Amino acid sequence: MIFVIDASITLAWCFKDESSAYATTILKQLADSRAVTPSIWPLEVANALLVAERRQRLAEADTARFLALLRSLPITVDDETTRQALGGVLSLARDQGLSSYDVCYLELAMRQGHSMATLDNRLQEAATKLGITIVEG
């Protein structure tokens, strides 16, 4: 199975205060599945880690360990997302009342026909409205 994961799921794996049973289940599912993310995902994750370091929520060593975990997982970054930004992403963001950043995940799931894993309630609602299946946890 291939599914789209967003930064909320990814960062829940890093921060104990953001962890959830759902995020842990998604991580375990990657033993037998693959995930795909839009091209914005690495930037969102990197920024969240950098902010956490600056706020002394994470040490650089913690960031390095987490990045090693991410590199070991079967996660592919989709480069087509950037080409969709000024077309499908912008239009979908207007229609759904979400940011273009959030809609990148929806657009990818729709374009590739994948289900989606997210902890973001508004993104879950939009996905459901658009007929995108939310990965069971």
Q: Is 71 a member of any domain?
A: yes
Q: Which domain holds residue 122?
A: 2-129
Amino acid at 56: Q
* Residue bearing the bigger pLDDT, 84 or 69: 69
Is residue 136 domain-resident?
no
DSSP SS3 for 1 = coil
**CATH classification at residue 83:** 3.40.50.1010
Does position 82 have pLDDT exceeding 90, yes or no? no
Q: pTM of the predicted model, to two decimals?
A: 0.91
Full 3-state SS string of 12-34: HCCCHHHCCHHHHHHHHHCCCCE
Q: Is residue 76 part of a domain?
A: yes
> Which tens digit of pLDDT belongs to each residue from 97-107?
889 899 999 99
Q: Indicate whether 135 belongs to any domain.
A: no
For the stretch 14-73, pLDDT in tens is 998 889 999 999 999 999 999 999 999 999 999 999 999 999 999 999 999 999 999 999
